[in-house]
Amino acid sequence: MKINLIVISLIISLLGFTHSSFGQNCHEFHKSKNCKVEDTDGFKLSSLSRSHNLLVGKTITYEVVMYGQKEMIVQCCTEDEYYPLRFKLISSINGDVIYDNKYDNYINSINLSLDRTELISIEITLVSTDKNKSIYEGTKACIGLAIYTEVAKVRQ
């Protein structure tokens, strides 16, 4: 009787976990429908793109080399229920913040072109708000960093 009660309790507690908090596989999440950019004509998905499991309220940092004189699209995404998602582009050379989506109402993507090739840190945070804190605190969600680079134009 005692063993049955333990087994039933274990099953109930396991069913209480969301799919995200219980080891969801986020492999290639940056290629999922959640990360699609509307207009990518003239761009290709870069091998710099990444996916990761991230706890709500935590930050992950990626360092990528962004080439100068090339237009790029940087898209940060997560599962629908975990927005807002904050991302910052920071110069690894001097620590200057190049861009912070917090000041653009947490938009998911930007187009940019750097003057010169530069090592950039991209910080991504699943923002913990008063609305979602009690529901999602301590859970993990998939996040994606999709970087699209301009396709070289053929000269005629």
Does residue 11 belong to any structural domain of this protein? no
- Range of the structural domain that residue 36 is part of: 19-150
- Residue position matching structure tokens 């063993």: 3
Residue indicated by tokens 């706890």: 55
Please report which confidence band the pLDDT of residue 138 belongs to, taking 50, 70 and 90 as the band edges. confident
| Residue 37: predicted pLDDT | 77
- Evaluate if residue 58 carries a pLDDT over 60: yes
> Is 34 a domain residue?
yes
The CA angle 69-70-72, to the nearest 5 degrees, is 140
In a domain? residue 10: no
> Is 4 inside a domain boundary?
no
Domain membership of residue 119 (yes or no) is yes
Domain assignment of residue 14, yes or no? no
Our count of domains for the chain comes to 1
pLDDT for 14: 36
3-class SS letters over 105-126: CCCCEEEEEECCCEEEEEEEEE
**Most confident range, picked from 7-16, 113-122, 134-143, 145-154:** 113-122
Whether the CB-CB separation of 71 and 41 falls below 8 Å is answered with no
130 compared with 107, residue with greater pLDDT: 107
Any idea what the Cα angle at residue 139 is, between residues 135 and 143, rounded to 5°? Answer: 115
CA atoms within 13 A on the CB side of 62: 21
pLDDT tier, 53 (very low <50, low <70, confident <90, very high otherwise): very high
* pLDDT value of residue 151: 86
**C-beta of residue 34 within 8 angstroms of C-beta of residue 78:** yes
Query: How far is it, in rounded angstroms, from Cα 78 to Cα 62?
Result: 16
101: domain CATH number is 2.60.120.380
Residue at 90 is within a domain: yes
Tell which wins on pLDDT, 3 or 50: 50
134 pLDDT band (50/70/90 cuts)?
low
Asked whether residue 155 is domain-assigned, the answer is no
- The whole-number pLDDT of residue 17 equals 38
- For residues 26-42, give the mean pLDDT: 83
